[in-house]
Amino acid sequence: MNFLIDADSALYKAGCAGERRWYEVVDVMSCEVLHECQYKKDALNWIGDEPDLDCFPMKEAGPLKEAIYNLKLYINNIINNEHCDTYQVFVGGSGNYRREIDPEYKVSRNPLDKPFHIEALKDCLVKEYGAVRIDRLEVDDVVSILSQRDLQSNCIVSIDKDLLNTQGWHFNPDTLKLEYITEEQANLNFYRQLLTGDSTDGIIGIKGYGKAAALRILPKELPPQELCAVVWGEYQKNEHTMEYFVQQGQLLWMLREENVMWYPPMDDNNYFFTPVLLPPVPETPKQKATKRRVAEVEDEDGF
């Protein structure tokens, strides 16, 4: 199999492993640090009812060499798996088209959760494993698109549950689980998530709808038009507009084709939205090298 590795989670696992995090209790009048605690609840207990005291999260970087070692160990365990014949590694770059759909996308994430050494770790992946940096698209969109080009040979490697909205082979490097998601399963997973949203990314969906509600409302696989009609009905019950419905769907949808956004598969003449123009999927080093060889041969043959 050709493993399409979403390495963003590996960057966080390796980069955060050696970091130290704690809370400081500070006198806000004098800015003097009075106490340190590992957990916020302990800091708040220490403060009690003192109005001039507050607590602040702190973080200290771990050794870069240790982070690089952990990263290589994680990636090597993936590419040495018995199912992996070839591999391509992808890491996030700059920009995110989903912010054009919703400026609040992922803004609630704690900036302290990002590893200190993340850029150095990305450089390591580029140098050691030929990783491709992805700008404006998200890495999970790219591996989703590429996987569709050969559903039997390509395999998405990720711990991200959102990618279960995409048909094809999936390998979870944490659980070592290899499974095939059919198109019907992928569509069902997507529409259930369209009900619940994704709190991690700040996608609300329908407020108050959790996993149990999604399973009750969509208990089985159906054609996408029927799944969409059921979910749209729930949005209408909660007085949401079609514009909001489409926005939530486009935030949650893992791209399956280049430049093709999700839209409700109902009566196209009745539902309109402003499409977001997406950048092309970047070429891998192998694809670039193949193009160069073809061009050289054509030059030699006089084409």
pLDDT score at 33: 95
pLDDT score at 272: 37
Nearest to 122 by CA among 15, 39, 272, 199: 15
Extract the residue ranges of the chain whose pLDDT is less than 70: 266-281, 298, 300-303
The 3-class SS string of 236-247 reads: HHCCCCHHHHHH
Q: Could you give the residue ranges of the DSSP H alpha helices within the chain?
A: 8-17, 40-47, 64-79, 98-101, 118-129, 139-147, 183-196, 211-217, 224-237, 242-252, 285-301
Neighbours of 98 (CB within 10 A): 22
Whether 163 and 144 have beta carbons less than 8 Å apart is answered as: yes
- At CA 173, angle to CA 170 and CA 176, rounded to 5? 80
Calpha distance 120→128 (Å, rounded): 12
pLDDT score at 274: 38
Calpha distance 187→117 (Å, rounded): 37
Give the pTM. Answer: 0.84
Q: With H, G, I as helix, E, B as strand and everything else as coil, classify residue 22.
A: strand
pLDDT score at 290: 78
What mean pLDDT value characterizes the chain? 91
Q: Which CATH class is domain 2-12+64-252?
A: alpha beta
Helix 242-252, helix 224-237: angle, nearest 10: 130
Q: From residue 172, how far is each of 56, 77, 229, 268 by CA, in Å?
A: 35, 12, 32, 37
Spatial CB neighbours of 233, under 8 Å, sequence gap ≥ 6? none
Neighbours of 190 (CB within 10 A): 22
pLDDT score at 236: 94
Give the pLDDT confidence of 17-31 residue by residue, as tens digits: 889 999 999 999 999
pLDDT score at 261: 92
Give the pLDDT confidence of 74-111 residue by residue, as tens digits: 999 999 999 999 999 999 999 999 999 999 999 988 88
Domain extents in the chain: 2-12+64-252
Neighbours of 59 (CB within 10 A): 16
